[in-house]
A and B are shown apart, each in its own frame.
Chain A
């Protein structure tokens, strides 16, 4: 496989993570969020694009994440900002599960 450990970073063990849970992952002075949705895992930048607030404390409903400070809403799968005050999209990242462990590709 060409995708080796250099590309994928281990986020956490999959056990105990429920649908609509968020796992925060910090790496190299940056913060990310991994979300468990009905159809799998997704990842975005961890800070809201409106103000530097951790989205790990936000509310996931279906495939949307709402910022816990000012209620800006993003589509988790695409990062699209869909409700103000958020107007800049979130970056998204590939996620995979391997052997019960969650990996993110930054």
Chain B
């Protein structure tokens, strides 16, 4: 009861600090919301359409034009240039105007009609893997469809029925089942990664700022005194209002992800909410550790900021952790964000059973508890004047 009273006193003091410092409000509310809105707008379109490419048609026949038309009809490719020669295509690519060149050689139609093999070459820029993936897939599909049409004509000319011809030209057919993200929507991958990323950056910055500013402006003793010298009450009273605000913000974030971006929710919302809460608390804990060890607001902000920005790369959402070097795989375990994104993918897209997320929740809980071993150091930093007023 006594502890609660002390915590309440610190929390009240913190609320008045928040009200007095515009920067505090900006970090706690304005910036996170601005960043969420940015990503909601960015992912609004969802899929990339009409990426410009060029076609070098040396054949100029009905069949070569048909291939070109089929490529044009794909959702991602837009035939922006008809090339005269390859040099022109290379220059356009270096100028950034096209992302791929499709080459249809001379005698294309003649070869097909006389039952001889011919070729189609596709040169796709590899400088943007995402665009490369979309274009490669769609152009390949277009050419395969065209080829199948040619084969059916050849075979029906030989007297087969269309059904027999199909079985002949494609003896093994595959039926594709895309799990969990059936539209292969790129924003479904990205929205659950970027918005929590923004959330964690602000959790780290605002937590370090809230404690670091007590040191910078030498108010740490007053802070402790409000808590009757109980370091736990002091810390709890300070971090709780922040945690609560951030959790409310995360609800807004989830609302944007599920309702505005339209990402499916196939699993347990309870696990996601619990994970989000632990995620926020774990980054608060780590921030407390950093600021206790450094005892310097600016240095702590630099370190905490640096640490929080790195989380994205190591989460494996874009470049899978599985593909990293073993040492880097170990490093990826040092970021709560990695576990959080696993929970997100499992419960949002995959609809995995709850038991799959339990280890991740456990790891997040460890990140909440372990950094708090630094409490004696925090008390020391808050009581000894030599740690105060540093730049």
Q: Do A and B interact with each other, yes or no?
A: no
Residues on A lying within 8 angstroms of B by beta carbon are: none
Residues on B lying within 8 angstroms of A by beta carbon are: none
